[in-house]
A and B are shown apart, each in its own frame.
Chain A
Amino acid sequence: MSIVETKTEARPKPGRALPFAKAVGRFLVAAVTTYLGLLAVTFFIGRVVPIDPVLAILGDRAPAHVVERVRREMGFDLPLYQQFYIYLKGILAGDFGTSVLTTNPVMVDIKRVFPATIELATLGTIIGSVIGVPLGVLAAVKRGSFADQIVRVIGLIGYSVPIFWLSLISLVIFYAKLRWVAFPGRIDIVFEYSFTPVTGFYLLDSAMQGQWDVFYDVFRHIILPASLLGYFSLAYISRMTRSFMLNELSQEYVVAARAKGLSETRVIWGHALRNAAVPLVTVIALSYAGLLEGSVLTETVFSWPGIGLYITNSLQNADMNAVLGGTIVIGTVFIGINLLSDLLYRTLDPRTRTR
């Protein structure tokens, strides 16, 4: 993706603010079509996968008559379009079906696994942007310097090293050797029954309940996977920040600002970064949304009970209700985050504000 492309894509054309109602209507139509498409594609892919879903439910040992009975019970003997119709009807009634693997209603499962992923992704994104943006700015300001090269190498490594490998290596270093962090899972078993999560965000829950020893334990569990995810978003964010900043720094207003004697700090952080921030918001939002899908490999290595692991596991077992439910939730999050970054745009970029 070149810088120019991102920029033109990222900035809505000024002066074309739609009347509110029309905008909402348009958004709804787009959202509904997106959802339908998403569901249809996932559903049909899930059904043409060469895995017998009954096999996933019953295992290899079930006698023939049980297999046939379950096939009927689950409606797998009906034509595909009919199965899809039945599924859609269920969703409209708020019934996302039951997961075969966990036997819970899909939404109950997702309520349990999604907060784990959100917590991890949020912390990861915070780490990624708090470090990535300044690094990108630094690299742009000192273009071609040693610092710039370093930032680029950091970015390159983040881009190209497999996260699975890096996760294990960092576990060996920070967990096994240095013992700075805790592992596995989200919380030590000592606290398993003295701590009751309310929201599912353990950091938040433990802080709200004033259980600081739990908070510390949760922090020690989350910091390594979050840093790793942070590192990967950092790689992307710093690279994009560098590009946006380079672009801004070559603009005439920067020359003007310098000419009127503003300090370099103000020129860079106050003027150039402010302008670069507009497309940057999209970049950060997209990388956040990417992390929210759940990083399957990170979750596997760290035994993190998140949505990535949940959906992958379900997919491998042809547990379609769970896969579809997860897809809907992630789709919603994507659409939501896109909308949110659009809104942020309006506050950051005066030209897109309606008068």
Chain B
Amino acid sequence: MGTGIRTVELRKTFTSPPPAATPGRHLGFTMAGGLKRRSRKSVHVVALDGVSLEVRPGEIFGLLGPNGAGKTTTIGILTTKVRPTAGEAWIGPHEVWKRPVEVKRLIGVVPQTPNLDFALTAREILLFHGAYFGIGSAARARRAQELLERFQLQERADQLLLGFSGGMLQRLSIARAMMHDPEVLFLDEPSAGLDPQTRLLLWEIVRDYHRRGKTILLTTHNMEEADTLSERLAIVDHGRVIACGSPAQLKASIPGGFVLRLQFDATPPELLRALGALATVRELRPGAGGGVDLYADRGGALVGEIARLAALHQVNLHDLHIAEPSLENLFLHHTGRSLRG
């Protein structure tokens, strides 16, 4: 029987700088008061604003959202790194912040930025990790060898990590997380910075681990990854879950499925009315500066009619982008923003 994950109304407000998942990149946290102003004395960053999730035992569950949405903070709370301000987090039968040691026995964690022990060789990293979890020395050696082969690291197994490529570090990081055969595996942006080949290997490994009945929670801002890997996923933004379900369900929830992003030099009300009245257009959302998003059942087939309406109302159509049904559109639909920022 696998182990599930449950969170109830998790909240986290950082009063010191939060642990950035992606150092150096822009952090999109909601600052209290709506202004990105940081007082000299205290930082007040709302990272999670009531996150409730239920991950079933043995499920691959994805957390999809832009940088700073609260994905890493959620994982941090579930993996005993970040103490929640309010709410509950459960791994199987244990409440994380009441029984952290029991929880640590059940989980394996792959952080976004590798935190491997640079004082040790690749093999030693696995062996000591096994020892921390009380695995006997013979079993430890056997398992480390298996993982090194599986992750194509055997050639460099007895070297220190200096000179390992990013992909190798990431593979070793995943091997380490699997070393003690945890019931629940957390992968924080597992394929960030990986080449396509390694990414495929990673996906294969994740699926394989899943087939053994393990629960996997992964975060990503890569739609393809969320779509192909997860059985269910939650879309998070600004510390909240804005949608949750299987990728197919979520995609089906977008009106029409296709999104046509149009850019005119002006949008007179008659034009908007005419666009909204086009056949198969489900929803129309005017944006700032002449932008219009059309949610429709058709994509390219609408272009001719749109161009005709533009000419009729004497406005110029500058730009047009057609997106097919995808999680990206879903994100856009719920937040009005593109996932890629």
- Do A and B interact with each other, yes or no? no
Chain A positions within 8 Å of B, measured between CB atoms, are none
| Interface of B toward A, CB cutoff 8 Å | none
